[in-house]
Structure formats: C-alpha cells, structure tokens
Amino acid sequence: MNISVIGCGYVGTTTALMFCELGYQVVAVEKDSKKLAMLQQGKLPFHEPGIDSLLIKHLHRGSLVFTGDIEEGIAHSKIIYITVGTPSLPDGSSDLSFIEEVSRQIGAAQNDYKAVVIKSTVPLGTVDKVREWIGKAQKRPLPVDLVVNPEFLREGSALYDTMHPDRIVIGSDNPEAAETVKQLFHSMSCPIIVTDCNTAQLIKYTANAFLATKISFINEIGRVCDAYGANIEEVASGVGLDHRIGPHFLRAGIGWGGSCFPKDIAALINMGNNNGINLLIVQSAQQVNQDQIGYFIDRLEGELHGLNNKTVSIYGISFKPETDDIRESPALKVIAEVQRRGGTVAAYDPMVFDKHPELKLPGVRVARNMEDAWKGSDCFFLITEWDQFSKIDWGQVMQEMRTPLVLDGRNVLDARKLRSLGFRYYGIGRKTGIIHE
C-alpha cells in the first residue's frame, strides 16, 4: 500500500520511516528546498538518534522517495498524512497557516478519493476547517475523508517511540476511514483507540498538559524542599512508587521547553478561553514554568551579589539532550534574563552550534569546547543534561573558574562531590538527603 506524508520535519520524517519499516511505499513531500536536497541525499536536516541509518536503508530500497512536488505526493496514494508545523501565535492560539496551505494544495491536486490524516497537533474544530479548505480548492466535487492520528513521540527517542507507541489514537467521523487508518498499524501490538476527531485531539492536548503539569508540580515542591532542606529526588521517588502516580516526569529542574509543551499548553488555554473556560490548573503549570527561570536566576544574582561584570557559562542550549532543537529552550530564556540583569554569557552545546551555524545569539560568546566556556567564569550553569557533562574534571574546573559557583538546572551533577571540592553548588531541592548526596 502507498502512503504520502506532507512536511518532513521531526514528525514527518520519522512517520515516513515508520511506515517504510511497516512495509509501505512512501512518498514524502517537503517544500523547503534545502531540507529536501539533504533528505534526498540521505542526510538528516536535524539530529535524531537512529534515524540516519533507516533513512539510507529506505532510500536505497526505493521504499521512500522525497519530493518537492506536492502533486506527485497527492497522486501517489489514497492516504495523505499531514505533518506540517502548528506553531503558536502571540495570543497562544495555533498558527494554522501551514495546515491551510497543505489543505488547499491537496484539494487543488486531488483527482480521486483521498483519506487525509492530520498527524500535526491541531486545535479541536480544525478538521471542519480542513474539510472546507480542501473542498474550496477542488476543481470538481470529490470525496474526502478526514482522520486525525495525533503523534506522541519525544524528540531524542523519536524512532523508538514511533515504533513502540504506548497507544495509537485515531479519530474520525467516518468509521470506515478510521478502520482504513487502523489497518495500517495491524502489525503493531499496542492498544488502538478509535474515537471521534475532537476526542482524539483532546487526548493529545490533555497528555501534554498533564505531563507538563506534573513537572511544574514537582518543581514547585522543589522550592518547598529548598525552604526546609528536604530532598526533592527522595520526595519524587517516594511519591512515584505509588502506582497511581508513577515515577515518570517528576525530575525537578529549570522547567520544560521544546517545540510542543509550551505551544500545546498555550493552545489548550486558548481553546478554554474561547469557550469561557478558565483552565486554572494548566495556567498555573504554565506560570510556575515561567517563574522557574527567575527562581534560578534570583539565586545566581544573590550568590554573585549582582550580575554586572559577571560571566555566566551556560551548558546546553537545546531544550533537552540528544536533539538540536532549540524551540522554546529554557537556555535561551536564561541567557536573555542573565543579560537583562547585566551579566555576560558564554555558551557551550555539543550539538546546536555545529548543526545550526546560522544561529546568532547576540552578546553571547560561543565556546568551542566545554573547557573554553568555564575559563574565567563566575558561574557554571547547567541547563541541558548532555551526557558529557557528567564526565567533567571538576578539579580542573575549580582551577580555571573565577568564582566556584555551580547551578545545576537539571539536578544531575554530584552535589556531594562538588561541595567537597569547595564549589558552592545549587540544584533545586538538593540541600540534604541520603540517596544522591
């Protein structure tokens, strides 16, 4: 069977490869000519572990073809997946312009029946708009079914998550179309939930909002730990052993970022507002997350008695390890806030600057290596827990920093060791405790 995928970013490329692995013939459409040229040559325009080798495998086999010609993509199959971006607008609502563009292109290129499957995360009600955009662009009335099949992959483990999902969610107002899409996954063993479009979309938003709220909640408890000298990791593991709560997404730190949580939480709040529903819990989770940057920087400013003439070394720019994605990265917010309060910044990331040579961070000294960033610095500030930061020679750091201050935005460094070496070390909620200190 043939499948077309439109939009070859993190989700589209992974989805295309997942379908190739399941045995389908895939045509993937990308409009960005630079990205397209790379993909056609078997090179990934972004970093995602494990995807590179699969890309080459399926290009060689001919099971995957990349094209910039949307008409070729539409003609290739009856099942068209939409995987374009849905970024935030300033009011928190979703920018559906990419979805609209693709919908109109589908309608204009259509010459027979299509099942259009929206994998992008889109607000409830979007399906009706897509149906209208497609219909208006059709040269003559042609049948189209709309299905939503939201994606739950995490960057950094995209391939694994797509090949081993906890569940697959399919929403459609037409049971036959839903069944067609369900059959695509017949070889997968996870639960498949078939429901209506709005319910399927709300499963996606609720999952992201719940996970983000879990993190904000533990971050807030981390502040209570700081106030009373309790240990947040022991609190989290003690609480997480309760099966009703579970151990995941209870790692306290500088807060959540990325291309999904911030925008999806904003979109959910916006959907509530549009209907007179004040989503208090989700709004609070968002607020706690915004405040978390200030919580750390207040500590930094206090420890250094002001940031004027102080240099802060930022370790990790991507929003999490094993990705080059900097969308809504906490590091960028920390840099802006340090600069706003008068400090200067040196930054190191093992991936981001190599992958994005065009990236400009005004006023920031980009370090060539880890050592270069801490030399003469007043604070080692870890934002992203790249594995290599766990192998640092802290004796050398102590020799080469101007001020022996370490802020650990991910609670991953060895607090006891750093303190015994003479560093002033702060994570969140890590003053005491016996497991990690």
Ligand X SMILES: NC(=O)c1ccc[n+]([C@@H]2O[C@H](COP(=O)([O-])OP(=O)(O)OC[C@H]3O[C@@H](n4cnc5c(N)ncnc54)[C@H](O)[C@@H]3O)[C@@H](O)[C@H]2O)c1
Give the three-state DSSP class for 293. Answer: helix
Tell me the pairing of strands 168-172 and 144-148. antiparallel
Taking the CA atoms of the chain, what radius of gyration do you get in angstroms?
24
Judged by CB under 6 A, which stretch of 127-135, 152-160, 193-201, 426-434 contacts ligand UPG? 152-160
Q: Establish if 256 lies at the interface with ligand UPG (CB under 6 A).
A: yes
Give residues 343-362 in contact with ligand UPG (rule: CB under 6 A).
none
Determine the Cα–Cα distance for residues 376 and 373; give it in Å rounded to an integer. 8
DSSP character at residue 426: E
The site partner of 171 among ligand X, ligand UPG, none (C-beta below 5 to 8 Å per kind) is: none
The site partner of 320 among ligand X, ligand UPG, none (C-beta below 5 to 8 Å per kind) is: ligand UPG
State yes or no: is 260 an active-site residue: yes
- For ligand X, the binding residue among 38, 84, 236, 412 (CB under 6 A) is 84
Which residue is at the shortest CB distance from ligand X? Answer: 9
DSSP character at residue 87: P
Amino acid found at 166: D
CB closer to ligand UPG out of 26 and 260: 260
Comparing C-alpha atoms, which of 206, 130, 153, 145 is closest to residue 181?
Answer: 145
Q: Establish if 154 lies at the interface with ligand UPG (CB under 6 A).
A: yes
CB closer to ligand X out of 29 and 254: 29
CA atoms within 13 A on the CB side of 200: 30
For 311, left (φ over 0), alpha (ψ -120 to 50), or beta? beta
Q: Establish if 120 lies at the interface with ligand X (CB under 6 A).
A: yes
The site partner of 7 among ligand X, ligand UPG, none (C-beta below 5 to 8 Å per kind) is: ligand X
Dihedrals phi, psi of 426, to nearest 5 degrees: -135, 125
Which residue is at the shortest CB distance from ligand UPG? Answer: 260
CA atoms within 13 A on the CB side of 240: 16
Residues whose CB falls within 8 Å of the CB of residue 116, separated by 6 or more in sequence, listed in order: 80, 82, 103, 106, 130, 134, 144, 145, 146, 147
Q: Establish if 32 lies at the interface with ligand X (CB under 6 A).
A: yes
The site partner of 76 among ligand UPG, ligand X, none (C-beta below 5 to 8 Å per kind) is: none
Maximal C-alpha separation, the chain: 76
21's tokens: 């692995």
Q: Establish if 205 lies at the interface with ligand X (CB under 6 A).
A: no
340's tokens: 């706003």
CA angle 184, 58, 181 (to 5 degrees): 10
Tell me the pairing of strands 344-348 and 364-366. parallel
Q: Establish if 152 lies at the interface with ligand UPG (CB under 6 A).
A: yes
DSSP string for residues in 295-312: HHHHHHHHHHTS-TT-EE
- For ligand X, the binding residue among 9, 262, 427, 429 (CB under 6 A) is 9
Site string for ligand UPG, 169-208 (x = CB under 6 A): ---------------------------------------x
The site partner of 101 among ligand X, ligand UPG, none (C-beta below 5 to 8 Å per kind) is: ligand X
Amino acid found at 416: R
Q: Establish if 151 lies at the interface with ligand UPG (CB under 6 A).
A: yes
Determine the Cα–Cα distance for residues 337 and 320; give it in Å rounded to an integer. 19
Q: Establish if 250 lies at the interface with ligand UPG (CB under 6 A).
A: yes
CA atoms within 13 A on the CB side of 144: 29
Give the three-state DSSP class for 272. Answer: helix
- For ligand X, the binding residue among 21, 71, 72, 101 (CB under 6 A) is 101
The site partner of 250 among ligand UPG, ligand X, none (C-beta below 5 to 8 Å per kind) is: ligand UPG
Give residues 126-155 in contact with ligand X (rule: CB under 6 A).
151, 153, 155
DSSP string for residues in 89-114: PTTS-B--HHHHHHHHHHHHH--S-E
Site string for ligand UPG, 208-247 (x = CB under 6 A): x--x---x--------------------------------
Q: Establish if 86 lies at the interface with ligand X (CB under 6 A).
A: yes
Q: Establish if 263 lies at the interface with ligand UPG (CB under 6 A).
A: no
CB closer to ligand X out of 31 and 299: 31
- For ligand X, the binding residue among 3, 4, 5, 10 (CB under 6 A) is 10
Q: Establish if 267 lies at the interface with ligand X (CB under 6 A).
A: no
- For ligand X, the binding residue among 259, 311, 313, 377 (CB under 6 A) is 259
Question: Which residues are at the interface with ligand X (CB under 6 A)?
Answer: 6-12, 29-32, 35, 70, 83-86, 98, 101-102, 105, 120-121, 151, 153, 155, 259-260
Question: Which residues are at the interface with ligand UPG (CB under 6 A)?
Answer: 121, 151-155, 208, 211, 215, 249-251, 253, 256-258, 260-261, 264, 319-320
Catalytic residue positions, numbered: 260
